[in-house]
Amino acid sequence: MFCTLKEFFLQGRFIFGPDVRSIFLTMFLIIAPVVAFCVFVARHLINDFPGDWGISVMVVAVVFTVYDLTLLLLTSGRDPGIIPRNTHPPEPEGFDGSNDNGVQTPQQLRLPRTKDVMVNGISVRIKYCDTCMLYRPPRCSHCSICNNCVERFDHHCPWVGQCIGLRNYRFFYMFVFSTTLLCLYVFAFCWVYIIKIRNAENLSVWKAMLKTPASIVLIIYCFLCVWFVGGLSVFHCYLMSTNQTTYENFRYRYDRRANPYNRGVLNNFLEIFCTRIPPSKNNFRARVIVEQGLQQTRVPSRGFMSPNMGKPVGDLEIGRKPVPWDEPRTAADIRDLEVGLGGFLDEKEGRLTHASPDLSRDDLPADLIEGRDGMHSRRSSWVERTRTKESVDTVL
């Protein structure tokens, strides 16, 4: 099954998160100061440099902005590494189907909550995802916002409106780092313009700054942004050097135990930037075939149950409120039971004690149809309600 809570554009060529609208705010925060820089600063610097160096100030700003927005689009509109969902829980290991005609105990039916796998000689515990009905691979986690399991899950970034995972982490870091460089570029040339005004008119720095209020606004804006995107760049540079994800750094703290994924500083950087990005496991452009009885296929014929079947569950990794997993199914069973009880007729004359729910009014004798029409009035009495309760107990 495909992912949920995603926005698809151009027939599945772009896959955005549910909060895709935040990308427009991010684009505005990048484009608006660059436009102000080109209009109020770079335009006046064209004639202040010899040759074509003056116009190159504006060209570099525009090209760098386009490059930054391209990385933003690659980060936000790309499959981060979504693992396709299963239609039913997996079979337990070692199950050979020999007990199909026997009675299986709950221990045989219930899947284990966790499993241990070996990664580079170190035992790593993986968890079962009740939503996707699969055992998450190592470094995989379920995003509560996108409602999907993502390989090498790092975090869900609200600024790009997408999960950051195996297939877009490289572009995410390049976007953050290029945004840092763009802020430093605008910040530096705003000061260059102020110095040019001071030297040309023999003014103090403060009076020169008053001559160009746009430069003051851009300097303050870029200074604040550099603390955010620059700090984020340094933090993720540390994570890449130690081969960690943001999720692992805050949850597992590998400084207290061995990191099974650490291959050395150089190899860790090569793994991020120089390895081939694996293809997506989802074909978002394929046609979805609606199978008959899809609801029935979600309940496996062998009767395998999720680890938390029949009790309130909550994924501790995503912070959801625990809810009974079988609450909708219980309501459906009650409705089915009510329909089934309509076929149990207990007439006073004893002519019919059980009738199948498939019988129609045309197939029944006239005297039985007359008895069915009076059934609702008899059920209102206490005696008939007691009989109905006994019939429910018998069916259960």
Q: What digits encode the pLDDT tens for the residues 344-358? A: 434 434 443 444 344
d(CA 253, CA 14): 34
Domain presence at residue 340: no
Burial of 37: CB neighbours in 10 Å, binned 0-12, 13-18, 19+: buried
The pLDDT, as a whole number, for residue 348 is 39
d(CA 266, CA 389): 72
Q: Which residue has the higher pLDDT, 60 or 8?
A: 60
Return all residues near 101 (Cβ < 8 A) that are at least 6 apart: none
Mean pLDDT (whole number) for 271-275: 94
Domain presence at residue 354: no
**Residue 194 pLDDT more than 70?**
yes
What does pLDDT average to over the chain? Answer: 75
Mean pLDDT (whole number) for 277-305: 59
Q: Which residue has the higher pLDDT, 84 or 96?
A: 84
The pLDDT, as a whole number, for residue 181 is 97
Active site residue 143: no
- Alpha helices, H only, 202-326: 205-211, 213-225, 231-241, 246-251, 265-273, 294-297
Mean pLDDT (whole number) for 249-262: 78
282 touches 84 (CB < 8 A): yes
**Residue 216 pLDDT more than 70?**
yes
82 touches 4 (CB < 8 A): no
Which amino acid appears at position 148 of this protein? Answer: N
Q: Which of 3, 146, 157, 190 is catalytic?
A: 157
114 touches 126 (CB < 8 A): yes
Terminal alpha carbon distance of the chain:
34
45 touches 131 (CB < 8 A): no
175 is in which domain, residue-wise? 7-81+153-274
**Residue 183 pLDDT more than 90?**
yes
How large a percentage of the chain has pLDDT more than 70? 62
**Which pTM was predicted?**
0.69
Domain presence at residue 387: no
The pLDDT, as a whole number, for residue 189 is 95
**Residue 62 pLDDT more than 70?**
yes
Which of 25-29, 96-100, 190-194 is predicted with the least confidence, judged by mean pLDDT? 96-100
Burial of 350: CB neighbours in 10 Å, binned 0-12, 13-18, 19+: exposed
Which of 3-17, 160-174, 309-323 is predicted with the least confidence, judged by mean pLDDT? 309-323
The pLDDT, as a whole number, for residue 47 is 82
Mean pLDDT (whole number) for 60-83: 93
Domain presence at residue 377: no
Angle at 156 between CA 325 and CA 130, to 5 degrees: 20
d(CA 159, CA 20): 9
**Residue 198 pLDDT more than 70?**
yes
Domain presence at residue 369: no
d(CA 134, CA 128): 6
The pLDDT, as a whole number, for residue 370 is 45
Question: Model confidence at 165, in pLDDT bands (50, 70, 90)?
Answer: very high
**Residue 315 pLDDT more than 50?**
no
Overall number of domains in the chain: 1
**Residue 24 pLDDT more than 90?**
yes
pLDDT tens for 123-158 read 888 899 988 888 999 999 999 888 899 999 999 999
The pLDDT, as a whole number, for residue 7 is 54
The pLDDT, as a whole number, for residue 309 is 54
The pLDDT, as a whole number, for residue 113 is 82
d(CA 146, CA 163): 7
Domain presence at residue 268: yes
Domain presence at residue 206: yes
Q: Give, to the nearest 10 degrees, the angle between helix 53-76 and helix 22-37.
A: 180
Q: Which residue has the higher pLDDT, 343 or 170?
A: 170
Q: Which two tokens stand for residue 114?
A: 């966790």
DSSP state of 256: G
Domain presence at residue 373: no
d(CA 140, CA 134): 11
